[in-house]
């Protein structure tokens, strides 16, 4: 059996809390193996690093299948999973030219098309990661739209 203390040293200091919670799970559930818990902590650790890199704009691949992302910045063309918010500004997110004078009707059309794809209600049966990314994307989209539709906010 693998010791949890040795595992925490290999995983790094950020996973120590997860391993302490896993240690409690192992002692409460005799059928649960330490190896299973350690592997899950390692997977959680790897996913958190991927997630952080994606939020910081350091990844150009899908968080799920690692396929190179193409034209659609919201969904992977390979596995169809929603992606975390990228580094686009509000204009880029809503496919509008970056200038003060914008077509408000086109802005609204683009907003509603994206909202129909990104809204959290469409992800109720998906993984927690996908639900979180949907919520982040929809929130960012709302902020972008509310900023760009008002001339005084758009000017900032």
Give the pLDDT confidence of 32-53 residue by residue, as tens digits.
Answer: 444 444 444 444 444 554 554 5
Partners of 68 in beta bridges: 61
Selection from 156, 150, 137, 142 nearest residue 73 by Cα: 137
pLDDT at 50: 53
Q: In the chain, which residues have pLDDT < 70? A: 1-59
pLDDT at 59: 60
- Overall pTM surpassing 0.75 (yes/no): no
pLDDT at 51: 52
């Amino acid at each position: 059996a693998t010791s949890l203390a040795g595992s925490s040293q290999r995983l790094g200091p950020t996973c120590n809390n997860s391993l302490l919670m896993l240690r409690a799970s192992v002692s409460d559930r005799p059928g649960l193996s330490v190896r299973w818990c350690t592997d899950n902590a390692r997977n959680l650790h790897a996913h958190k690093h991927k997630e952080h890199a994606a939020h910081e704009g350091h990844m150009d691949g899908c968080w799920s299948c690692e396929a190179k992302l193409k034209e659609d910045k919201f969904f992977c063309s390979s596995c169809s999973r929603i992606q975390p918010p990228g580094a686009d500004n509000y204009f880029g997110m809503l496919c509008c030219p970056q200038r003060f004078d914008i077509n408000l009707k086109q802005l609204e059309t683009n907003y509603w098309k994206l909202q129909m794809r990104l809204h959290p209600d469409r992800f109720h049966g998906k993984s927690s990661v996908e639900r979180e990314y949907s919520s982040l994307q929809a929130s960012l989209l709302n902020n972008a739209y509310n900023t760009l539709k008002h001339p005084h906010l758009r000017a900032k």
